[in-house]
Structure 1
Amino acid sequence: MTSIFTDKTVKPSDDDLKKALGKNYTFWHELFSFTLQKYPESSFDWHFSGQKFGWGFRISDKKRVLVYLLPRDQFFKIGFVFGEKAFEEICNSNISEHIITELKNTKKYAEGRGIRIDVTDGSLMDDFKKLIEIKIKY
């Protein structure tokens, strides 16, 4: 599924995002703010990944992306890539069994295991925050 923002010539504004995400904008903003609070040196910006994927939002440290926020119609996806140490910590944590199972079932690449999770309500916010903390740690 592609971003709701597909026009390469128009970088999404905060108003565009609020309109696109509806009630789920508050969760986007909460996760964005949480990441900056936990890692104040982070940088962030919209990135156009080609016509097939459209615009996505990245929050990064100096060397890597910490969190991907990918806007859809009335929801968004949160994405991570975890190395082996982070993966092990997640597997031994109290994060939702569904997330752990999905991460275990993803293909392992040189840069780690990638996962994208739909954010359609606030039910997994605590898990997302734990994942952000683990990503920052490793």
Structure 2
Amino acid sequence: MNQRALLEKALQPTDEMLEDALGRTYKYYTVLIKLTGDFDKKWTFYKGWSLKIFDKKKALLYMVPHEDGFIVSMAIREKEKETLLENPKLDFAHNQLNESEKIMEGYVIQFEVEQDESAQKCFEFVEALIGMR
């Protein structure tokens, strides 16, 4: 993954800034925004800007912009983890789920979105998670 983008605290990201930073992967960002349409969205800054997508203050995911890509990070709850591991369509994420460390919010899983295949896997996983929330 390329280096993190949007590092100036004084400049909250705009669509134009995101399009410039994400480059060809901006289209995947727009799909992610549509996919999470009913969730609230808020930009937060900690060593760079990230987009928190949440419902009732509980985070669904964080999107961290990088140059020509982005990372989607999620904390998966225990019961969600069990259900996701039973889903054969999500077998691409099973190893990461099994190996993830538990933190207070759950088990952390991340997707690096840089091209069609990684974007599609990320979207499939996010859709499954939305279905449980």
TM-score under structure 2 length normalisation: 0.88
Matched, 1:89 2:90: no
Query: Percent same amino acid among aligned pairs?
Result: 25
- Following TM superposition, the consecutive aligned residue runs of length 4 or more in structure 1 with deviations greater than 6 angstroms are none
State the match for 2:36 in structure 1: 35
Give the whole-Å Cα distance in 1 for the aligned partners of 2:83 and 2:3: 30
State the match for 1:24 in structure 2: 25
Q: Aligned to 1:61, which of 51, 55, 59? A: 55
Residue 2 (structure 1) shift? 6.1
The structure where helix makes up a greater share of residues is 2
Give the whole-Å Cα distance in 2 for the aligned partners of 1:134 and 1:46: 24
List gaps (5 residues or longer) in structure 2: none
State the match for 1:118 in structure 2: 112
Give the whole-Å Cα distance in 2 for the aligned partners of 1:74 and 1:121: 9
State the match for 1:48 in structure 2: 45
Q: Deviations over 1:85-129 (max 9, x none)?
A: 1111111111143x2101211111232101121101121444323
Q: Per the alignment, in what secondary structure is the counterpart of residue 96 of structure 2?
A: helix
Q: Aligned to 1:74, which of 68, 71, 77? A: 68
TM-score under structure 1 length normalisation: 0.85
Matched, 1:134 2:128: yes
Q: Per the alignment, in what secondary structure is the counterpart of residue 95 of structure 1?
A: helix
Give the whole-Å Cα distance in 2 for the aligned partners of 1:44 and 1:90: 24
Q: Per the alignment, in what secondary structure is the counterpart of residue 130 of structure 1?
A: helix
- The alignment's C-alpha RMSD in Å is 1.7
Residue 84 (structure 1) shift? 0.8
